[in-house]
């Protein structure tokens, strides 16, 4: 038995499902998880000593690659001065300044510890700012596991959502409206019915959690216009897209300014950091300068702040266009290889991310994403893993590249893809 299997068996007796986040259990791809011993550059190594070209990259954060030497040097230097103070530290000011310079719409920012905290807090702030309760989210967009977002679409356009999981009271999602992504008419209809109650629209500007889906031309601008008309706060959840779609996020790339932005994943370079920020007049409603409460014992952690800052400074020196070009070529070739085996593939790609859907439909929302053949993905996942390529353990995810991926990695990946039997 492999060491991974032994650890998994033991973990299942101690941790529910053996994992600290469900997707890691690899259930959707009918596999057991690999336990990872270490990672460097584009590679991860399991406890049995097998190396893999990594396209998960910790689900997005590791844009520079694993164990980046500059980020690690900064984190180690900070750690030598202590790991937490519960008091302000210089690095959080530097990181806040860097974020406000990079993200076009962010005038002020508050640090938290995860993407979930960022979206949960941004929603509270939007509600406090507007004095309204309702929030619109879109089917297939993921905003972390705060109760208000764990909602499934109700049976009409402007009606309240149903709880998305046991443990979420119906009352908690009574103010959540779930609509299809990329459908401006549905949003307009909801606003006609309940516009004056809607505190916020929260949206992944280019969703990465139903696989990768791109906004239709005019969609984000349309959301902006509706929010302006009704005094609703537009929240871009840039936990995936921030600093990856461009150094200036999806908002920089698509040229639409949200009122609030949530950040996570890349911002901490692998440390547990999230942040939310935006318009000064809204952010100043936060305690202690305003009435809306939000706090965190470990928020602005000095080690994480130092790592995050070093990460962004390093990313500023990198060639995003070249990475996008190379990632796109890889994705095109990968998709062509799978198509040559007689399977339909719809490829969505942007920046350093791509998703293959095994369907002949264009994928612009969750309903279309659901037509992807999960059995094909499972077969690809398993056979690629056996050949040293680590893909996401669910078909509705992005594959991510990094600045550390090499030509040799891409060659190995495509050669492995050619050997996949479907
Ligand atoms: C991952 C993710 C979150 C949640 O972040 P956590 O750090 O896992 O809590 C929120 N929004 C989006 C868009 C994400 O991809």
The domain locations on the chain are: 3-64+319-419, 69-315
What number of other Cβ atoms are within 10 A of residue 279's Cβ?
18
The alpha carbon of 316 and the centre of ligand 1 are apart by a number of angstroms equal to: 23
Nearest partner of 70 among 311, 363, 394, judged by Cα: 311
C-beta 210 within 6 A of ligand 1: no
> In testing the pocket of ligand 1, which one of 113, 142, 212 has its CB within 8 Å of the most ligand atoms?
142
Asked if residue 376 lies in contact with residue 343, where contact means CB atoms within 8 angstroms, the answer is yes
Q: Ligand 1 centroid to 144 CA: how many Å?
A: 5
> Of these residues, 55, 142, 254, 377, which one is catalytic?
142
Q: Is 265 noted as a catalytic residue in this protein?
A: yes
Q: Kindly state if the Cβ of 115 falls inside 6 Å of ligand 1.
A: yes
**114 touches ligand 1 (CB under 6 Å):** yes
* Ligand 1 contacts CB of residue 397 (under 6 A): no
Q: Give me the pLDDT at residue 155, please.
A: 66
pLDDT at residue 159 in the model:
72
Ligand 1 pocket test target in 63, 141, 144 with most atoms within 8 Å of CB = 144
Ligand 1 midpoint to CA 341 (Å): 34
Give the rounded distance of the alpha carbon of 50 from its chain centre.
27
Residue 157, pLDDT score: 60
Topology (CATH) of 3-64+319-419 = 3.90.1150
Is the pTM higher than 0.85? The answer reads: yes
Q: Is the peptide bond before 54 cis (omega within 30 degrees of 0)?
A: no
Q: 261, 276 in Cβ contact below 8 A?
A: yes
3-state percent helix, strand, coil for the chain, nearest multiple of 5: 40, 15, 40
Q: What is the pLDDT along the chain (422 residues), one digit of tens a residue?
A: 999 999 999 999 999 999 999 999 999 999 999 999 999 999 999 999 999 999 999 999 999 999 999 999 999 999 999 999 999 999 999 999 999 999 999 999 999 999 999 999 999 999 999 999 999 999 999 999 999 999 988 766 667 788 999 999 999 999 999 999 999 999 999 999 999 999 999 999 999 999 999 999 999 999 999 999 999 999 999 999 999 999 999 999 999 999 999 999 999 999 999 999 999 999 999 999 999 999 999 999 999 999 999 999 999 999 999 999 999 999 999 999 999 999 999 999 999 999 999 999 999 999 999 999 999 999 999 999 999 999 999 999 999 999 999 999 999 999 999 999 99
213 within 8 A of 365, measured Cβ to Cβ: yes
| Catalytic option among 259, 265, 365, 409 | 265
Strand 274-278 versus strand 108-112 pairing type: antiparallel
Give the closest residue to 99 by CA, choosing from 221, 267, 283.
267
Task: Clarify whether 142 is annotated catalytic.
Answer: yes
Whose tokens are 């095109």? That residue is 332
Q: How far is the centre of ligand 1, averaged over its atoms, from the C-alpha of 411 (Å)?
A: 31
Q: Which atom of ligand 1 is nearest to the CA of 240?
A: 15
Q: What is the pLDDT of residue 44?
A: 98
| Atom number of ligand 1 nearest to Cα 144 | 4
Q: Is 238 in the pocket of ligand 1 (CB under 6 A)?
A: no
Residue 137 in contact with ligand 1 by CB distance below 6 A = no
Q: How far apart are CA 307 and CA 417, in angstroms?
A: 35
CA 103 / ligand 1 centre spacing (Å): 18
46, 54, 68, 237: the active-site residue = 237
CA of 210 to the centre of ligand 1 (A): 13
Position 152 scores a pLDDT of 87
Nearest CA to ligand 1 atom 13: 239
Instruction: State yes or no: is 183 an active-site residue.
Output: no
User: How, if at all, do strands 233-237 and 198-203 pair?
Assistant: parallel
In short, whether 215's Cβ falls inside 6 Å of ligand 1 is no
Nearest to 122 by CA among 20, 264, 262, 279: 262
Atom of ligand 1 nearest to the CA of 119: 10
**What does CATH list as the number for 69-315?**
3.40.640.10
């Amino acid at each position: 038995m492999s060491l991974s299997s032994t650890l998994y068996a033991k973990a299942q007796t101690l941790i529910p499902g053996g994992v600290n986040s469900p997707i890691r259990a690899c259930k959707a791809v009918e596999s057991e998880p690999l336990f990872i011993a270490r990672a460097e550059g584009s590679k991860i190594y399991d406890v049995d000593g097998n190396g893999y070209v990594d396209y998960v990259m910790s689900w997005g954060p590791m844009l520079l690659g694993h164990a980046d030497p500059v980020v690690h040097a900064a984190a180690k230097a900070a750690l030598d001065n202590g790991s937490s103070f519960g008091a302000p530290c210089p690095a959080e000011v530097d990181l806040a300044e860097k974020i406000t310079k990079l993200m076009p719409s962010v005038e002020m920012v508050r640090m938290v510890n995860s993407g979930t905290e960022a979206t949960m807090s941004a929603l509270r702030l939007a509600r406090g700012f507007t004095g309204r309760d309702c929030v619109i989210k879109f089917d297939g967009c993921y905003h972390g596991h705060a109760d208000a977002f764990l909602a499934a679409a109700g049976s009409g356009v402007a009606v309240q959502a149903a709880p998305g999981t046991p443990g979420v009271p119906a009352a908690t999602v009574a103010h959540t409206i779930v609509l299809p992504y990329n459908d401006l008419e549905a949003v307009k209809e909801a606003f006609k019915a309940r516009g004056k109650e809607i505190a916020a629209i929260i949206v992944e500007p280019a969703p990465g959690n139903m696989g990768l889906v791109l906004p239709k031309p005019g969609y984000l601008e349309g959301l902006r216009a509706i929010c302006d008309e009704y005094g609703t706060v537009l929240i871009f959840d840039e936990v995936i897209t921030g600093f990856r779609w461009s150094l200036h996020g999806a908002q920089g790339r698509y040229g639409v300014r949200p009122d609030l932005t949530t950040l996570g994943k890349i911002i901490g370079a692998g440390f547990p950091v999230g942040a939310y920020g935006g318009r000064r007049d809204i952010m100043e409603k936060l305690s202690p300068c305003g009435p809306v409460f939000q706090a965190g014992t470990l928020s602005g952690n000095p080690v994480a702040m130092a790592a995050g800052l070093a990460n962004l400074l390093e990313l500023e020196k990198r060639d995003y266009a070249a990475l996008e070009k190379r990632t796109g070529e890889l994705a095109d070739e990968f998709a062509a290889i799978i198509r040559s085996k007689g399977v339909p593939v719809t490829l969505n790609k942007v920046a350093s991310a791509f998703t293959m859907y095994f369907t002949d439909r264009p994928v612009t929302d969750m309903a279309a994403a659901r037509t992807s053949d999960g059995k094909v993905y499972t077969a690809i996942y398993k056979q690629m893993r056996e050949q040293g390529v680590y893909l996401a353990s669910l078909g509705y995810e992005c594959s991510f590249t990094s600045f550390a991926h090499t030509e040799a990695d891409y060659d190995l990946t495509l050669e492995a893809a050619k050997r996949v039997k479907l």
